Amino acid sequence: MKTEHNDSLLRFMTCGSVDDGKSTLIGRLLFDTKTILADTLTQISNTSKKRGMEAVDLSLLTDGLQAEREQGITIDVAYRYFSTGTRKYIIADAPGHEQYTRNMVTAASTANLAIILIDARKGVLTQTRRHSYLAHLVGIPHIVVAVNKMDLVDYDQNVYNKICADYLAFAKEIGLQRNSNNEAGHDIRFIPMSALNGDMLVDRLDNMPWYTGETLLEMLEKAPAAHTEQSEEFRFPVQFVCRPHASADADLHDFRGFMGRVESGDIAVGDAVTVLPNGYTSKVKAIQLGEAQLQSAQTEQSITLLLEDEIDTSRGDMIIKTGSKIEPVKQIEAFVCWLSETPLSPARTYIVRHTTRESKAKVGAISYKVDVNTLEQQATTDLKMNDIARMSFKLAQPLMVDSYSKNRATGAFIVIDESTNNTVGAGMIV
């Protein structure tokens, strides 16, 4: 008999300043959902003993690489996995240091929910603002504000309420909060917890009877997966064209399959489509996934599209539904986070990679830089690592873009330095 595996998947990230309890929280989630196996536990309990600790330090579970261990800090983004009976989770774990804005942006780029940790003793700090702003900038729709270390403030409801109020006041200020006339805002929820004791993560202990809301895991289990909340336009960047004409099978002689992933929206056999940037039109003849013939396909599926007409199409083209509005553009305006130790050089030519398409790009104007702590706009002529600026690029090739707030897939791009091939910038189109 076959087992059924129909769980959905949620990607989320954790943000917190050093010592807010991020590693402990992740360790707890993994431990309480029984993801940690005995040998790993033995390993970390040995290490805990070696370091003179009484209890097993669950934060060691997420302790990464040698180099970092030597420096005693976490750098970069690490990915962890756990699953419950109903859902698989991918956690992007990024450190909270000010210097690591780029890591947070990286982690946020694939997350649909962010857990923002606050130390109950400290309340809303500059770091909290920074994390919230970045979650907002990178378009994470669901935010869980976790007020941690409640055990150190005697589980005092007033402390918790004050922190929630402070946070909401600030959230309004930066346009983070969702309200009736701000559909694009974020869904913000609060939870008091003690990650160390495992209170309100998976289990509900008796310390906070005044809190009747969901536990963290309940929130995670119910949070919508990406792309499920609103209707989106169909966007299909062509990754690869399959033309097995040399095949011995005569039936395949005229086969021309456009392979790619549905970045947003859905498509069905018979739909009228337009191929950009050239503007050719046709109809969907068939949709294939492996040997399976599909009648329709939805967001995030990797499929092969066959069209009624023979159209000359190659990697980098975009297939949309006829009538959908998207114009090829040769200039883009965006918020850009600089990722590289080598600062942006306005005189140089870069490569912009957007969906499956690349274009050479020249820096246009830099309007301003955002101070991620105060959210102030500052005039600037250069961009250094971890800076975020609003700026424009002039493009050699047209790109088919949407605004990032409408579509996280077709509104995003990366900037590549042609001489080193490094990824040096991350852009979100305004």
Partner 1 sequence: MSIKKQPYHNPLSHLDWLEAEAIHILREVAGQCSNPVLLFSGGKDSLCILRLAEKAFRPGRFPFPLMHIDTGHNYQEVIDFRDQRAAELGERLIVRSVEDSMKRGTVVLKSPDEPRNKHQSVTLLEAIEEFGFDCCIGGARRDEEKARAKERIMSFRDEFGQWDPKNQRPELWNLYNARSHKGENIRAFPISNWTEMDVWQYIERENLGLPSIYFAHQRDVVMRSGAIVPINVPLASGEVINPPRAGEEIINMQVRFRTVGDITCTAPVISDADTVSKIVLETATTTITERGATRLDDQTSDASMEQRKKEGYF
Ligand X SMILES: Nc1nc2c(ncn2[C@@H]2O[C@H](COP(=O)(O)OP(=O)(O)O)[C@@H](O)[C@H]2O)c(=O)[nH]1
Show the binding pattern over residues 205-244: x = contacts partner 1 (CB under 8 A), - = does not: --------------x--xxxxxxxxxx-------xx-xxx
CB of 376 vs partner 1, minimal distance in Å: 25
Binding window for ligand X (CB under 6 A); candidates: 81-89, 143-151, 298-306, 381-389: 143-151
* DSSP bridge pairs for 199: 194, 203
Which C-beta is closer to ligand X: that of 195 or that of 412? 195
Residues 53-112 that bind ligand X (CB under 6 A): 59
Residue 18's SS3 state is coil
Give the nearer residue to partner 1 in terms of CB position, either 28 or 102.
102
Question: CA-CA distance, 9 to 345, in Å (whole number)?
Answer: 40
Tokens of 187: 């869904």
Q: Give the x/- contact pattern for partner 1 in 35-64, rule: CB under 8 A.
A: --xxxx--x------------------xxx
Q: How far apart are CA 107 and CA 93, in angstroms?
A: 7
Q: How many residues bind partner 1 (CB under 8 A)?
A: 88
- C-beta of 18: minimal distance to partner 1 in Å? 18
Count Cβ neighbours within 10 Å for each residue of 388-397 and write b for 16 or more, e otherwise.
Answer: bbbbbbebee
The answer to whether 254 contacts partner 1 (rule: CB under 8 A) is no
Site string for ligand X, 14-33 (x = CB under 6 A): --x-xxxxxxx---------
Q: For residues 376 and 308, give the distance between their C-alpha atoms in angstroms, rounded to a whole number.
A: 53
Return the range that interacts with ligand X (CB under 6 A); candidates 11-19, 99-107, 157-165, 305-313: 11-19
The kind and range of the H/E element at 118 are strand 113-119
Give 375: exposed, middle or buried? Use CB within 10 Å, 0-12, 13-18, 19+: middle
Does 264 contact ligand X by CB under 6 A?
Answer: no
Give counts: helices (H), strands (E), the chain: 7, 22
Residue 136 in the binding site for partner 1 (CB under 8 A): no
CB-nearest residue to ligand X: 21
Listing from the earlier edge strand, what are the strands of the sheet with 187-192? Answer: 78-83, 87-93, 8-15, 113-119, 142-148, 187-192
Chain residues in the site for ligand X (CB under 6 A): 16, 18-24, 59, 148-149, 151-152, 194-196
